[in-house]
């Protein structure tokens, strides 16, 4: 049986749509300096593809030497979001990934529904995309503020795709696009096909080994829709 036609495409943000040039790490560092008097480089204590709550918890454990309580995590997240807009605006390394603007415009013009599936909490996702004026392309999303893991937030995005489409779009008609093995695992865990792009921290061979349905160097190289 042929695969169903694609009606909606879900995009990861960091490493897939854009890179902030380390702005997230800067914002987390400033948050930890203010709250605990100690800078933390999240790139040294976390892994690509983690959800923001997991990033915050892991970083806090590295500072506190114990599990953080909910108030400590809330404070860290709150300060991170306070610092993130300036960190993004100031970043010299911020850029949109190759071919993304053209692809998003083409997909919207073709009548496809576009959404986000990202480990960023919702506020952080939109802060990161605003500098490039990309928020306008996305009608819905699943965020790190929706679930504790990537599979859960991807399922949430699929639920919202159904709502936004008036019940017309089913999960089998959706695909996701990401740049890490965690993105591949999340999409497959939610029952959808995955396009993996080697524009982040993982090469094409690593993404192929993770089981992606399509592996591209960039979205300009044979995007399947």
| 160-202 residue pLDDT tens | 999 999 999 999 999 999 999 999 999 999 999 999 999 999 9
Do residue 107 and residue 209 come from a single domain?
yes
**pTM, entire model:** 0.93
Residue 4 scores a pLDDT above 80: no
Task: Specify whether 204 is located in the same domain as 124.
Answer: yes
173 shares its domain with 203: yes
Q: Is 124 a domain residue?
A: yes
Q: Is 81 exposed, middle or buried (0-12, 13-18, 19+ CB in 10 A)?
A: middle
- Is 3 within a domain? no
Give the pLDDT band (50/70/90) at residue 2.
Answer: low
Rg (CA), the chain: 17
pLDDT for 1 equals 43
Does residue 223 belong to any structural domain of this protein?
Answer: no
Same domain, 111 and 150: yes
Q: What residue numbers bound the domain in which 187 lies? A: 8-20+95-216
Residue 48 has pLDDT above 80, yes or no: no
Q: Looking at residues 114-140, what average pLDDT do you find?
A: 97
> Of 90, 113, 146, which closes a domain?
90
CA distance 178 to 198: 9
Do 36 and 104 fall into the same domain?
Answer: no
Specify the number of domains making up the chain: 2
Tell me the pLDDT tens digit for each residue of 57-87: 999 998 888 999 999 999 999 999 999 999 9
């Amino acid at each position: 049986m042929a695969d169903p036609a694609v009606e909606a495409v879900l995009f990861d943000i960091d490493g897939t749509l854009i890179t902030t040039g380390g702005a997230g790490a800067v914002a987390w560092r400033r948050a930890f300096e203010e709250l605990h008097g100690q800078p933390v480089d999240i790139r040294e204590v976390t892994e690509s593809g983690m959800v923001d709550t997991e990033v915050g918890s892991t970083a806090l454990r590295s500072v506190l030497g114990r599990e953080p309580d909910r108030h400590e995590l809330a404070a860290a997240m709150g300060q991170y979001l306070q610092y993130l807009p300036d960190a993004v605006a100031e970043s010299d390394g911020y850029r949109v990934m190759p071919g993304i603007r053209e692809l998003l415009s083409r997909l919207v013009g073709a009548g496809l529904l576009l959404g986000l599936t990202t480990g960023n909490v919702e506020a952080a996702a939109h802060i990161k995309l605003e500098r490039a004026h990309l928020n306008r392309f996305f009608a819905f999303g699943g965020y790190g503020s929706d679930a504790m893991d990537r599979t859960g937030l991807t399922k949430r995005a699929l639920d919202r795709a159904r709502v936004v489409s008036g019940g017309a779009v089913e999960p089998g008609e959706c695909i996701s696009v990401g740049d890490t093995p965690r993105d591949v695992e999340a999409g497959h865990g939610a029952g959808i096909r995955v396009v993996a792009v080697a524009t982040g921290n993982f090469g094409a061979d690593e993404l192929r080994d993770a089981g992606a349905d399509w592996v591209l160097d960039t979205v300009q190289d044979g995007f399947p829709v």
